[in-house]
Amino acid sequence: MATNSYEAAYKKYFGDRFDNITHDATEEEIRKLYDDWASEYDQELALAGVAVRKPLAVCLDAAVKNIFKDKPKHELKIIDVGAGTGTLGVELHKLGYTDLYALDISQGMLNEAKKKNVPYKKFICASLSDQRIPEIETGEFDALISAGTLVKAHVRSSAFVEMIRMVKVGGLLCFSLRCNELNDYQPKMLELEKEGRWEKLCRETVPYFERDDLPREGLAFVYRVKKMKNNANVSNKLVGLREWSV
């Protein structure tokens, strides 16, 4: 997880938790990391000054106001991917979203999320990869949001395909990336754009950590799911879309 330039700082705030996590880490290694960390996770992230969740929730909210102008927030079905202990769900709830679903690789983390006053309708314990998650129907959600989950040591760029599958045509995906890892994800993002799978609506620089010895900024993206060619079941018209900034 830690990059060389911030290795000492990650060690300072998170100890040796990531010492054995490499870019080739298995799903079981990731799951065990977060199961073991769950009870202390919120406290340690607060000490490290993690700040990305609120601005990412605001980013999605701005996109919703542009795309779902006639649909009340409480009717929007949103999945929080990499929900962890539910802190992003708390921010979404503050903004008026109540039809929320949580997905995380760690049951321990989801157990912590259940303790918070967040109206998640369902907790799904599954990894995020290019493999289909059986509990989630194709096009089930109006929007997907993911904060701090897409990091190179945890989730590969091929997972974008499954993320898109979860969201209905015309729906939104909002996620964060670390600035220094953009090159690991961007080729797949551009490939999916060229294939007509999704359309970028927003790229924004957002706060990531509040501590000076950790990365202060990250990137927030919003994409809109497009119709796949030769799919007669959905409309091919996404009217009036252009890149915009929130």
Taking CA atoms, 165 is separated from 56, 122, 143, 172, in Å, by 21, 18, 11, 11
Rounded Cα distance between 216 and 213, Å, is 8
* Model confidence at 228: pLDDT above 70: yes
Output the pLDDT for position 60: 98
Rounded Cα distance between 56 and 208, Å, is 10
Tens of pLDDT, residues 192-225: 999 999 999 999 999 999 999 999 999 999 999 9
190, two tokens: 């551009």
* Model confidence at 38: pLDDT above 60: yes
The top-level CATH class assigned to 4-225 is alpha beta
Rounded Cα distance between 179 and 66, Å, is 26
pTM of the predicted protein model: 0.89
Percent of the chain with pLDDT over 90: 78
